[in-house]
Amino acid sequence: MTMMSRARVRPVVVVPLTLVVLSACAQGTYGVSTGTILSTVILAGEAVGRSGSSGSRTTTTSGGSRTRMPRSPAPTSAARRVLDEADRYVGVPYVWGGNTPSSGFDCSGFTKYVFAKQGIDLPRTSREQARAGRGVAVDFGEMIPGDILLFAEPGEAISHVAIWVGSGTIIHASSAMGGVQYLDIGGTRGGWYVENLVAVRRIL
């Protein structure tokens, strides 16, 4: 007589890829395309945590190209105040349309609030913030701490804004990360940001 072992069957949960939340501001409008899905996968795996590294680094984008992240200069005293203010809100939840620590932040609500604390009035949306201050070349070697970075997917309107901390690091309110967090775009999870950076504005 032979004994047959009974295999255990475990249920498999299938989560539709389109349910993954994009890292974008309240005013964005999204259609689901192959490129959007790929970007969503990249964003869903973002590292949560601060980067303590300040040396040159290299990042690999989803297209396989590599972008060098040069060391940034030390923040000016004004930039240091902005970055210290931004740091106070790490962990504040992402809320669509949110613009205060008590209500939560979306990306442009966060940047507007942080700069307002230093007496600088930014417009409310990321699209409007793309016209604030003065333009800087979209070049990691030209950016300085305290600049704001604007992001848009090809053919789409600007949908995200972040503050440049320097040396590959941003601080932003991200739906994918659940709130205000640091992200090292020079790391393995930063490809979407490198590929979709469309404007840099110097506010200070």
Check which CATH number belongs to the domain holding 188 and give it: 3.90.1720.10
Decide if pLDDT at 58 tops 80. Answer: no
Instruction: Give which of 204, 180, 181, 177 is closest to 120, Cα–Cα.
Output: 204
Q: How many CB atoms lie within 10 A of CB 103?
A: 12
Give the range of the structural domain holding residue 173, as residue numbers without chain letter: 17-202
Does residue 133 lie in a domain region?
A: yes
**How far is Cα 177 from Cα 155, in angstroms, rounded to an integer?**
25
Q: Token pair of 159, please?
A: 């949908």
Does residue 5 lie in a domain region?
A: no
Per-residue pLDDT tens over the stretch 145-186:
999 999 999 999 999 999 999 999 999 999 999 999 999 998
Decide if pLDDT at 13 tops 50. Answer: no
pLDDT attached to residue 91: 98
pLDDT attached to residue 25: 61
Count of domains forming the chain: 1
By mean pLDDT, which of 34-43, 86-95, 174-183, 193-202 is the weakest? 34-43
- 186 with 167: CB under 8 angstroms? yes
Higher per-residue confidence, 189 vs 47: 189
* Radius of gyration (C-alpha) of the chain in whole angstroms: 19
Does residue 9 lie in a domain region?
A: no
Helix, strand, or coil (residue 185): coil
Please give the DSSP secondary-structure letter assigned to residue 38: H
- 187 with 59: CB under 8 angstroms? yes
Higher per-residue confidence, 10 vs 105: 105
**How far is Cα 125 from Cα 128, in angstroms, rounded to an integer?**
5
- 186 with 69: CB under 8 angstroms? yes
Does residue 49 lie in a domain region?
A: yes
Decide if pLDDT at 28 tops 50. Answer: no
Per-residue pLDDT tens over the stretch 62-113:
444 446 799 999 999 999 999 999 999 999 999 999 999 999 999 999 999 9
- 105 with 196: CB under 8 angstroms? no
Does residue 71 lie in a domain region?
A: yes
- 59 with 190: CB under 8 angstroms? yes
Decide if pLDDT at 36 tops 70. Answer: no
Report the percent of the chain where pLDDT is more than 90.
64
pTM, two decimal places: 0.72
pLDDT attached to residue 87: 98
DSSP string, 88-156: TTTTPBB-TT-EETTTEE-HHHHHHHHHHTTT----SSHHHHTTSSEEE-S-TTT--TT-EEEE--TTS
Higher per-residue confidence, 203 vs 16: 203
Does residue 87 lie in a domain region?
A: yes
Does residue 8 lie in a domain region?
A: no
Does residue 4 lie in a domain region?
A: no
